[in-house]
Structure 1
């Protein structure tokens, strides 16, 4: 029996909100990541952060004009990425 193969979805963007990555979008992103069957990470400053870990996201101190990437890989990656993009475009750009 062959295993399922998932392709990674990637969304690169620059934080343009004067508040940077603040509590409200962090909570929303973490909530989506926790409910997803996919692995959701955020690449920033050469490292990766598990998006379901709100405390790690907040402690990264991501500010306005910082470049980040959301990466989603798993069985519901398309749906999860669309939900994450809605949060990003409404609260961080």
Structure 2
């Protein structure tokens, strides 16, 4: 299992467009992937789950991946968070 924390730096927080891109990026992977925010955990492959968290600028999230392709999944998450200007590790 891999676990990584990010601080959201985007002024809009984790809103619909980047949340949708994150969900789309991790969905093809077979590993289980979760996002934790303020002690609430959701499946990162669920757009409704991610949006329900309401993550705003300056807050931290933790993403965990567990499975056979967890390393490549987490590399994709890292790449997308940086490319979209969402946050930093």
TM-score normalised per structure 1 = 0.87
Residue number in structure 2 paired with 1:5:
none
Structure 1 runs (4+) greater than 6 angstroms displaced = none
Contact (CA 8 Å) 1:33, 1:39: kept in 2 or not?
A: no
1:85 aligns with 2:78: yes
**Where in structure 1 are there 5+ consecutive unaligned residues?**
1-7
CA deviations 1:29-53 (Å, max 9, x no partner) are: 1112221110010011012110010
Could you tell me how far apart the structure 1 residues matched to 2:79 and 2:18 are? 10
Structure label with greater radius of gyration? 1
Could you tell me how far apart the structure 1 residues matched to 2:21 and 2:70 are? 17
Out of 12, 15, 23, which is 1:30 matched to?
Answer: 23
Q: How many residues in Structure 1 have an aligned counterpart in Structure 2?
A: 86
How far did residue 88 of structure 1 move?
1.0
Q: Which has the higher strand share?
A: 2
**Where in structure 2 are there 5+ consecutive unaligned residues?**
none
TM-score normalised per structure 2 = 0.90
